[in-house]
Amino acid sequence: MLHGRKILLIVSGSVAAFKALMLVRLLRAEGATVRAVLTAGGARFVTKESLAAITGEAVQDDLWAAEAEIGHIRLARWADVVVVAPASANRLAQMAQGLAEDLAGCILLATRAPVLVAPAMNPAMWAHPATRANIATLAAHGLHFIGPEDGPMAEPESGPGRLSEPAAMLFAIRTLLASGPLSGKHALVTSGPTHEPIDPVRYIANRSSGKQGHAIAAALAALGARVTLVSGPVALADPPGVRVLRVETAREMLAACEAALPAEIAIFAAAVADWRVAREAGQKLKKQPGTEAPMLNMALNPDILATISTHAQRPKLVVGFAAETEHVLEHARQKLARKACDWIVANDVSGDVMGGAENAVHLVTAEGAEDWPRMPKEEVAARLSARIVEFFA
């Protein structure tokens, strides 16, 4: 599947670097050529010799030696994809700063290929605001991420920080290099609920799990689309090979969607809160003995679907979702017109759809409505994606 593809693997300093060796084996088994660059930190955990033996290629670890031999620009241009695995906290910081003080840094600045980053570090380092800020910067630069996973660390600790498994990294690389029917197209997908703050500790939310939206993002990526997933707070892993922008409120979601344009495809699967609390309290609202419960003054949230449907950079195909508890089709048809979108995926959420694994939907277009049988959300995603391929064919 990766036959003839050229993969440049940057191994930075983490105890998880041994998994990079396993990844090389999987990549080569699929016919890819892998060249490795070892950072000074990486060389503390795996040797140049083991990487050379496993890649079957000379390993670069010195900016100046590489300069003399092939040059970092040529190495950067050679790659169909650059993979940083593991990416240490320090490497992420260097990348976010655009530092070019070693060979890996130069390559990461010079490459025009997609870059997949697989972070690995202690959970506290991953949670640190400095790391969070670096990740946000790199995501805004268009880098792709996989992991880290939640689980036991080398130290007797547990939490998010484990390098993704080699098979998961392989899948993400395949997705990035996919030459499917949607390759060259950018798809924007929203997913999950929004959280609308009441005060610093309370918020208004809904029961959306994000399963349907995340499945759609994964399905579009598997067909070769470049996917930006704007997600509210969910307890789901990022779909491999997808750029994920995390937001909390509807207003943040709209800003992220507008910043992600232009796109050819936009799918609004998020359950966006229609209202927010007009004025978020700066301090926690206190329960005063003998006083009434507070009244919450609500304000209307922006309608993201309607905004993007009428945007100067409107995507060619705009798909909305309609979660209804009654008159499902009738409301969906009205929504199609009111929101100026091309299709509506309507579902009856009076049962266990929200948070559940399956969905029974109707696809409503200008031509009419189709009833799809109840099926897993992944299958809804695959069918919808197949329709999108037909639309562009």
Contacts with ligand C5P, residue ranges (CB under 6 A): 190, 250, 268, 270, 272, 274, 301, 303-305, 320-322, 335
Cβ 142 to ligand C5P shortest distance, Å = 23
Shortest Å distance, C-beta 68 to ligand C5P: 55
Apex 371 CA angle, 368 and 372, nearest 5: 135
CB-count exposure of residue 220 (10 Å: 0-12, 13-18, 19+):
buried
Contact call for residues 91 and 39 (beta carbons, < 8 A) = yes
Task: Closer to ligand C5P by CB, 45 or 268: give it.
Answer: 268
Phi-psi region of 356 (alpha: psi -120 to 50; beta: other; left: phi over 0): beta
- Min dist CB 238 to ligand C5P, Å, is 19
297 is catalytic: no
Residue in 93, 88, 94 with CA at minimum distance from that of residue 106: 94
User: Shortest distance, CB of residue 141 to ligand C5P, whole angstroms?
Assistant: 26
Q: Long-range contacts made by residues 136-140, C-beta under 8 angstroms, separation at least 24?
A: 137/96, 138/92, 138/95, 138/96, 139/243, 139/244, 139/245
Please measure the distance between the N-terminal and C-terminal CA atoms of the chain and give it in whole angstroms.
24
Q: Choose between 94 and 212: whose C-beta lies nearer to ligand C5P.
A: 212
Report DSSP letters for 218-234, one per residue.
HHHHHTT-EEEEEE-S-
Least distance (Å) between residue 88 CB and ligand C5P: 37
Q: What are φ and ψ of residue 218, in 5° steps?
A: -65, -40
Contact (Cβ atoms closer than 8 angstroms) between residue 196 and residue 170: no
Minimum gap (Å) between residue 204 Cβ and ligand C5P? 13
Is the Cβ of residue 115 or residue 270 nearer to ligand C5P in the bound state? 270
Tell me, letter by letter, the H, E, C secondary structure of 67-86.
HHHCCHHHHHHHCCEEEEEE
Nearer to ligand C5P (CB atom), residue 11 or residue 217: 217
Q: Which is nearer to ligand C5P, 65 or 299 (CB)?
A: 299
Q: How far is the CB of 190 from ligand C5P (least distance, A)?
A: 6
Neighbours of 117 (CB within 10 A): 24
What is the distance of C-alpha 331 from the center of its chain? 31
CB 56 within 8 A of CB 29: no
Q: Using CB atoms within 10 A of its CB, is residue 56 exposed (0-12), middle (13-18) or buried (19+)?
A: exposed
Cβ closest to ligand C5P, residue 96 vs residue 270: 270
Strands ordered across the beta sheet of 226-231: 243-246, 226-231, 186-191, 265-268, 317-324, 343-348, 361-365, 368-371
Q: Quick one: 50 or 365, whose CB is closer to ligand C5P?
A: 365
Residue nearest ligand C5P, CB atom distance: 304
| Catalytic option among 90, 122, 134, 206 | 206
Catalytic positions are: 206
